[in-house]
Structure 1
Amino acid sequence: MNKSNVMELKKTLKITTEFMPSIDRICTCFVNGNKEKLISNTESYSSLGDEEQFKYIDILKAALSGTIDKKLLNLEFGSNEASIKAEGFMTEAYTEVFKSEEKRDELFDTIIENYIFDENYLIVAGHGVYDVPMKASDGAILEDETTTYEFMLVAICPVHSTKAGLTLDSDSGRMVSSRQVQIVQAPVHGFLYPAFNDRDTDLHSMLYFTKKPEDSHPELIEKLLGIPAPTSSVDQQHIFESIIAEVTDDKADFEVIKTLHENLKEMEETAQYNGEIKTLHKEEIKEILVSAGVKEEKLDDFEHIYERAGGNDDTEFKTGNLIELDKFAVKSSDVEIKIKPDRTNLVQQRKIDGRNCIVVALEGDVRLNGIQINAPASQL
């Protein structure tokens, strides 16, 4: 799913005076730190009180939040036996869970058995139906033509206990003692199935949410999809940084890194414009290093360099995970210079009086601490 698909689906979860969200059923399961299932319920969404409706929608929307390929992972089922079995289970689950207590508990038990978490948590599963308006070739909405997208959105939320103490009793106007209360937190993991790819149902894919990219709980991913969890965005960046460190002897040239940034940013923008997700593999990583100016003799042993960094033939890299493309900052222990990502042409590295310097061309109105100054003409 791309950003546009996610945003369109999130809009269907809004609650207004004129619009009810696409969610029609809610299943919940409270699990303690010993992996014991204490409560398991199914309710009609419309039967809930107003405050409960808002809270559940906030939880489910949060499981669709974050950057694609960092917090929101597009995952596909594989062709191996375990993955085919997992896909069959999910295909049945996303509708039957909300009709059958047996299927509901089967899904919850699968999550509990394969989710390593030693605290209390709540599983919230919402069933939704979205009548997707069709679009003409020019992008215009065709209000009278729709397709149906039925989905299951699941959120896993830690539950924290408040401390007993004093609280205000508004009825009596007095401070009274309060008991310990279990408070449901924002979700830390979750998934959407089927995926909403190209504004249509994709039974072969899932969108997986992780609040922290470095903590995706791969054991749950592997059970849900029957395939190894993908390399996290954090690990992708670490592998890439390790490769750069080795091919540059830990002394990457400024122009090499600047060119890498520019090339990756261009790839990412092109992919976004085309509604695609740009994926790189081993040979493409080598190609972008060559195009950025890394000396070819440094890449003669690239196969082993790549493996030592932690990559393998199945490792996929997303352009947005390799370098922070939304900013361009040069930082030392005493100085930090920030440049608009699309104006890297203003920056050069130079040796001046024997010292390494970053030279920035100044254009237009120049201010120092808010005060306009007379900037000398650029020598770049």
Structure 2
Amino acid sequence: MNITKGDVQELRRRLKKTECTFGRMCGCYVNSGKQVVLKFGEQFSELEEDEFYKYLEIAKKTLSGTLGGNLLELEFARGEQADECRSFLLTLKGSKLANDDLLDRLYEQVIEQYAYPGNYLILVYHDVYDVPARATSGEAQEESEEIYEYILCAVCPVELSKPALGYREEENRIGARVRDWVVGLPDLGFVYPAFSGRGSDVNAVLYYVKTGRGSHPELIESVLGCVSQRTATEEKKAFQSVVKSAFGEDEEQAEAAFFRIQKTISGMVAEQEADDSLPPVSLTAETVADLAAEAEVPEPVREQIGKAFAQTFGDVPPVANNVLDSRLVEENTQRMHTAALEQRVADLQHRLAEQSERLAGDEVPWEESAGIVLRVPEERAERVHTGVVEGQKCLLIPIEEGESASINGVDQTL
């Protein structure tokens, strides 16, 4: 991966009123039947203020997330089709979005490949960024080091607002509010060329997917001509399927083994995150085999996991961070901790109940006692004897100097 977190943040920081340099912005509104409803083009600086900020928010969202998670660095595939896609994107960028035929071609490709059941809006922005040079101290200088020209595309769902009551000013009453079609934040988008090493990389695309959504490989391959990648969410689901499917119908054993594997991965990730110099941990077939063995997975199941892992991930091993289900580890660890505490409480209650029964069996209630009950250490019992004092028969207990006595819990002064 060549794109860094700093590259993404540098682009994103510019997307505000005082620093944004977007030139032209174009859009295409598509309904659920894949029919074009509206196409438009605007100079970004001439937008009304409210619209300016809303469109800026959409562009900014397309540069948000985690690299390798929902922000993917895509490479172009090999072959004539991929070369044609790259050439088209470069031509579209060079047109500064002033060529309607090129824009129509992009819209048509997205509409053909994007599998979405509802209405959506395709937005395309053009920008030119004078990349300032960096001083040796790391601070930006005024002189431009490079001109970075790029296009940013965002595909946003357009949904009907929820029914609600509202104030009808013209009628001065509360009534059903008119439902509107509202443009949401993007489900996916891309930046081309990628901004890498504070410069333009025409051999890569920065691709955005909303967290939790699929990556739409058909769009990546056919529209962008790139090699498709899984998002972190997709890799997590794929890894879970690889492990659990190997156990067949034994769901309980599969859940237990998967949790043990996840707990080990959690430790690996924590160790890597504690040291910034360590690279992300890649889960190779060998690593997964070791994880399964440590989780005490039976040999036949381990072999099945190895085969399924190789088929699913091939030569591109996922990083540990992407397959780690932190919530599962946290919840199961807490559940195990709670269960251990409950067991300890139950054990203590059982021991207390046994002790109470034993004491109850030894005691003789005072009101039912026919005599005096005396408890002394065994070594003292031999020294206790009876005698007559002033004509009264007594129980005599020798007491050494410094010793004390208690009768019915009341200390006695000797």
Provide the TM-score with structure 2 as the length reference: 0.68
Over 3 Å counting, the alpha-carbon distance change for 1:63 and 1:253 in structure 2 is closer
Kindly indicate whether the alpha-carbon contact (under 8 Å) linking 2:26 and 2:124 is maintained by their aligned counterparts in 1: yes
Counterpart amino acid of 1:235? E
Counterpart-to-counterpart distance in 1, 2:233 and 2:179? 37
Counterpart-to-counterpart distance in 2, 1:295 and 1:145? 55
Counterpart-to-counterpart distance in 2, 1:241 and 1:165? 41
Counterpart-to-counterpart distance in 1, 2:293 and 2:305? 17
Counterpart-to-counterpart distance in 1, 2:335 and 2:236? 24
Counterpart amino acid of 2:330? A
Larger Rg computed on CA atoms: 2
Counterpart amino acid of 1:308? A
Counterpart-to-counterpart distance in 2, 1:68 and 1:22? 24
* 1:263 and 2:268 matched: yes
Counterpart-to-counterpart distance in 2, 1:299 and 1:196? 47
Q: What is the DSSP-based 3-state SS (H/G/I as helix, E as strand, rest coil) of the residue aligned with 1:84?
A: helix
Kindly indicate whether the alpha-carbon contact (under 8 Å) linking 2:214 and 2:234 is maintained by their aligned counterparts in 1: no
Task: Tell me which residue corresponds to 1:181.
Answer: 180
Kindly indicate whether the alpha-carbon contact (under 8 Å) linking 2:28 and 2:36 is maintained by their aligned counterparts in 1: yes
Kindly indicate whether the alpha-carbon contact (under 8 Å) linking 2:70 and 2:231 is maintained by their aligned counterparts in 1: no
Deviation at 1:225, TM superposition (A): 2.9
Counterpart-to-counterpart distance in 1, 2:337 and 2:132? 47
Counterpart-to-counterpart distance in 2, 1:237 and 1:32? 32
Over 3 Å counting, the alpha-carbon distance change for 1:302 and 1:61 in structure 2 is same
Gaps of 5+ in 1: 339-348, 356-380
Kindly indicate whether the alpha-carbon contact (under 8 Å) linking 2:58 and 2:186 is maintained by their aligned counterparts in 1: yes
Task: Tell me which residue corresponds to 2:290.
Answer: 290
Deviation at 1:320, TM superposition (A): 1.8
Q: What is the DSSP-based 3-state SS (H/G/I as helix, E as strand, rest coil) of the residue aligned with 2:189?
A: strand
Task: Tell me which residue corresponds to 1:80.
Answer: 79
Gaps of 5+ in 2: 248-252, 347-414
Counterpart-to-counterpart distance in 2, 1:108 and 1:97? 16
Kindly indicate whether the alpha-carbon contact (under 8 Å) linking 1:256 and 1:293 is maintained by their aligned counterparts in 2: no
Over 3 Å counting, the alpha-carbon distance change for 1:14 and 1:290 in structure 2 is same
Counterpart amino acid of 2:9? M
Q: What is the DSSP-based 3-state SS (H/G/I as helix, E as strand, rest coil) of the residue aligned with 2:330?
A: strand
Over 3 Å counting, the alpha-carbon distance change for 1:243 and 1:172 in structure 2 is closer
Task: Tell me which residue corresponds to 2:5.
Answer: 3
Q: What do the CA deviations read for 1:315-350 (whole angstroms, capped 9, x no partner)?
A: 441332021469962526x83769xxxxxxxxxx99
Deviation at 1:50, TM superposition (A): 0.9
1:5-24 alignment runs, 5 A limit: 5-15=7-17, 19-24=18-23
Counterpart-to-counterpart distance in 2, 1:79 and 1:196? 21
Over 3 Å counting, the alpha-carbon distance change for 1:336 and 1:14 in structure 2 is farther
Task: Tell me which residue corresponds to 1:341.
Answer: none
Over 3 Å counting, the alpha-carbon distance change for 1:253 and 1:74 in structure 2 is closer
Task: Tell me which residue corresponds to 1:119.
Answer: 118
Counterpart-to-counterpart distance in 1, 2:236 and 2:65? 18
Over 3 Å counting, the alpha-carbon distance change for 1:162 and 1:322 in structure 2 is closer
Kindly indicate whether the alpha-carbon contact (under 8 Å) linking 2:257 and 2:295 is maintained by their aligned counterparts in 1: no
Task: Tell me which residue corresponds to 2:395.
Answer: none
Deviation at 1:254, TM superposition (A): 8.0
Task: Tell me which residue corresponds to 1:329.
Answer: 330
Over 3 Å counting, the alpha-carbon distance change for 1:169 and 1:139 in structure 2 is same
Deviation at 1:220, TM superposition (A): 1.0
Counterpart-to-counterpart distance in 1, 2:138 and 2:200? 19
1:1-380 alignment runs, 5 A limit: 1-15=3-17, 19-96=18-95, 98-162=97-161, 167-168=166-167, 179-242=178-241, 250=254, 251-252=256-257, 257-267=262-272, 278=280, 280=282, 284-287=284-287, 290=290, 294=294, 305-309=305-309, 310-324=311-325, 329-331=330-332, 335=335
Counterpart-to-counterpart distance in 1, 2:63 and 2:90? 20
Deviation at 1:126, TM superposition (A): 1.0
Counterpart amino acid of 2:12? K
Counterpart-to-counterpart distance in 2, 1:164 and 1:241? 39
Over 3 Å counting, the alpha-carbon distance change for 1:221 and 1:299 in structure 2 is farther
Over 3 Å counting, the alpha-carbon distance change for 1:226 and 1:302 in structure 2 is farther
Kindly indicate whether the alpha-carbon contact (under 8 Å) linking 2:262 and 2:325 is maintained by their aligned counterparts in 1: no
Over 3 Å counting, the alpha-carbon distance change for 1:40 and 1:314 in structure 2 is farther
Counterpart amino acid of 1:320? N
Counterpart-to-counterpart distance in 1, 2:130 and 2:277? 26
Counterpart-to-counterpart distance in 2, 1:163 and 1:234? 28
How high is the sequence identity, in percent, across the aligned residues? 29
Counterpart-to-counterpart distance in 1, 2:176 and 2:296? 72
Q: What is the DSSP-based 3-state SS (H/G/I as helix, E as strand, rest coil) of the residue aligned with 2:294?
A: coil
Q: What do the CA deviations read for 1:224-268 (whole angstroms, capped 9, x no partner)?
A: 232452233233223434555659x74549886544323234446
The CA RMSD measured in Å over matched residues stands at 3.8
Over 3 Å counting, the alpha-carbon distance change for 1:256 and 1:113 in structure 2 is closer
Counterpart-to-counterpart distance in 1, 2:154 and 2:267? 37
Counterpart amino acid of 2:266? H
Counterpart-to-counterpart distance in 2, 1:232 and 1:307? 22
Q: What do the CA deviations read for 1:246-299 (whole angstroms, capped 9, x no partner)?
A: 59x7454988654432323444666x658x7x4736xx3423653897389978
Counterpart-to-counterpart distance in 2, 1:30 and 1:210? 20
Q: What do the CA deviations read for 1:168-195 (whole angstroms, capped 9, x no partner)?
A: 4668866687654322111111111111
Q: What is the DSSP-based 3-state SS (H/G/I as helix, E as strand, rest coil) of the residue aligned with 2:127?
A: strand
Kindly indicate whether the alpha-carbon contact (under 8 Å) linking 2:21 and 2:129 is maintained by their aligned counterparts in 1: yes
Counterpart amino acid of 2:121? L
Deviation at 1:104, TM superposition (A): 1.3
Over 3 Å counting, the alpha-carbon distance change for 1:337 and 1:183 in structure 2 is farther
